[in-house]
Amino acid sequence: MKTKSAVNRVLLTLVGIVLLGTGLLILTGSFDLYRRRHLTPPDGWPLTTPGGVLLDDADRTRWTEEGWWWPAVIAVLAVVLLLALWWLLAQLRRTRPGHTPIGGPPAVDGVELRERALRDALAADARHLPGVHRARARMVGPPSRPEAHLDLTLTPDSEPGPVLRALNDGPLERARRSTGRRLPAKAQLRVTPHKAHRAE
């Protein structure tokens, strides 16, 4: 799992848990379920009745006279805002290489390879492999760590093992030598549908 995906899932899970818990707490108090079901909430539990509030006047004004209260509130809100902006910018950040430096950053003599050119060359090379009917490629990841994702459609009589070995030793190896990078790759294989032969 990529780092961005893992962070997104953790954050979304935490936000979902908080929202779900808050919603259940409000619904339980709004429908007066504690009294109807003869349940006893913990001491100090908020929103136990339809007219209950999350924070009463005493709780809301407990520390307002303290000198540290408002600076602390502003600091917490500023941190939350910065984290939200960081999360938003992380989602908008480009996840495709765009231009890949040849030979690794910094580029050799400033030479860079466009992501589209590398993608098209890799797909065209893979289409000439024995047992491959159709091939598509795309590049993902930042320019410093590009990764090739290939979608191969095999002929009905081909076997995945030899095709994968030929892909690694042929098109991928040539792309790695050309770019001077490790170029990790993922391949998705599928088989061309064909009509069943009727035996007589």
pLDDT at 96: 53
Q: Which of 75-79, 107-111, 172-176 has the lowest mean pLDDT?
A: 107-111
Q: What does the pLDDT look like over 125-157, one tens digit per residue?
A: 999 999 999 999 998 887 778 899 999 999 988
Residue-level pLDDT at 109 = 57
Taking the complete model, does pTM exceed 0.95, yes or no? Answer: no
Based on the fold, state whether residues 153 and 81 are members of the same structural domain.
Answer: no
Q: Which two tokens stand for residue 114?
A: 């466009």
Domain boundaries, position 157 = 99-191
24 & 103 share domain: no
* Same domain as 141, residue 162: yes
Q: Could you give the CA distance from residue 95 to residue 104 in angstroms, rounded to a whole number?
A: 18
Q: Would residue 171 count as lying in a domain?
A: yes
What pLDDT score does 55 carry? 67
| Residue 66 in domain | no
Q: Is residue 24 part of a domain?
A: yes
Q: Is residue 79 part of a domain?
A: yes
Residue 102 gets which letter from DSSP?
T
Per the structure, how many domains does the chain have? 2
CB atoms within 10 A of CB 120: 13
Read off the pLDDT of residues 34-43 as tens digits, 9 standing for 90 and up. 888 888 888 7
Same domain, 157 and 187: yes
Question: Does the structure show a pLDDT above 80 at 91?
Answer: no
Query: 27 with 105, same domain?
Result: no
Tokens matching residue 175: 């792309």
Mapped onto helix, strand or coil, the DSSP state of residue 75 is helix
Which tokens belong to 72?
């602390």
Same domain as 174, residue 117: yes
Q: Are 117 and 123 in contact (CB under 8 A)?
A: no
pLDDT-derived band at 172, boundaries 50, 70, 90: very high
Query: Which of the four pLDDT bands, split at 50, 70 and 90, describes residue 22?
Result: confident
Top-confidence range, 44-58, 61-75, 119-133: 119-133
Q: Which residue has the tokens 């993608």?
A: 119
Is residue 43 one of the residues assigned to a domain?
yes
State residue 2's pLDDT score.
Answer: 54
Sequence-separated (6 or more) residues with CB below 8 Å from residue 166: 129, 130, 131
- Please tell me whether residues 77 and 27 are part of one structural domain: yes
Query: Which domain CATH number covers 129?
Result: 3.30.360.10
